[in-house]
Structure 1
Amino acid sequence: MARDVRGRAPAGPRPRIKAVAAAVAAVFALIGVLGFVPGITTHYDELTFAGHHSGAKLLGLFQVSVLHNALHLLFGLVGLAMARRVVGARLFLAGGGALYLALWLYGFAIDREATANFIPVNDAGNWLHLALGFGMLCLGLLLSNDVGTGGRPDTPIDRP
């Protein structure tokens, strides 16, 4: 493959996994911001920093708190940074999917009225975590762009 003066491969189409990871990350960042918008978040005056006492609900369904919104925003921003490389995009999607599946299990294991429910998690959020976890994990593993098939995930800096 021809290389430029710096030894990099010529720019081509963006790998699908990077584009999908960036889109998923952008949605998470957007959801994090929308959680702070009155009207989109119902009962905004009941928004607490953390815990199950927050009465605010994103889109009237998903119980949120300041911490919950901040975590979505941070997760989205980290995902945008990771989506710049194929390896990072795959790790964001597959690792984030596994994380959300663990959060789904956590939502079933805890007492919703206990202090352990600090994010907070309600039934709608718990089912959303299942869908996100499964979807992200599948995307991270299936949209591989030859990663794991003997091809190199990214061109290392130290090799021509």
Structure 2
Amino acid sequence: MTTAHPSDRSSADRDDHRYAETALQKAALISEIVFLVVGLAGFIPGLTTNYSELSFAGHDSGALLLGIFQVSVLHNLVHLLYGVAGLAFARSRKGSRNFLIFGGIIYAVIWVYGLFFSGDHPANFVPVNSADNWLHLFLAVAMILLGIFLSPRMPRVDRPMARG
């Protein structure tokens, strides 16, 4: 009995577990690195203005990443965890696709959350401001589109029509 060598399978049949093999994996990897950098930057005085006003969570955090985006320790930790978790997903095409699409959906939900609970609203525990809302909308659209349009096209399967 002979078994096929894994390299004999077509690229559509295997799911490579190496970073940046495909454009989809590269897009996921780049986004994950950006999340890690942003999460770290939120803890760096100078990159984060009003750093002394950085609170753990809540709308009262006065710290602004790049002087624009409202951040807190929780907000920064979420970015870091999102980036770390995403690194695991970037090892496969399917994981990269799922990370981009479902991550984009999560950002769409955060955008909607921010529309209703930004500013001084007591439920604004992340916290988010208007600049964050626009960024979350951009991330949602960009991630979902990248996940969809960079995904490998599956061969079409023609199914016989049902006879009635």
Structure 1 contact 47–56 (Cα < 8 Å) conserved: yes
Structure 1 contact 61–124 (Cα < 8 Å) conserved: yes
Equivalenced residues, count: 147
Q: Deviations over 1:44-102 (max 9, x none)?
A: 00000000000000000000000000000000111111010111100000000111011
Give the Cα–Cα distance (whole angstroms) in 2 for the partners of residues 16 and 91 of structure 1.
14
Q: Give 1:111 shift.
A: 5.4
Partner of 1:126: 133
Residues 24-103 of structure 1 aligned to structure 2 (within 5 Å):
24-103=31-110
Q: Which runs of 5+ in 1 are unaligned?
A: 152-160
- Higher-Rg structure is 2
1:69 is aligned with what amino acid? Answer: N
Give the Cα–Cα distance (whole angstroms) in 1 for the partners of residues 119 and 67 of structure 2.
18
1:27 is aligned with what amino acid? Answer: V
Structure 2 contact 118–127 (Cα < 8 Å) conserved: no
Give the Cα–Cα distance (whole angstroms) in 1 for the partners of residues 100 and 142 of structure 2.
9
Partner of 1:154: none
Partner of 1:3: 5
2:97 is aligned with what amino acid? Answer: R
| TM-score, length basis structure 2 | 0.82
Partner of 1:106: 113
Q: Which runs of 5+ in 2 are unaligned?
A: 157-164
**Which 4+ runs in 1 deviate beyond 4 A?**
7-13
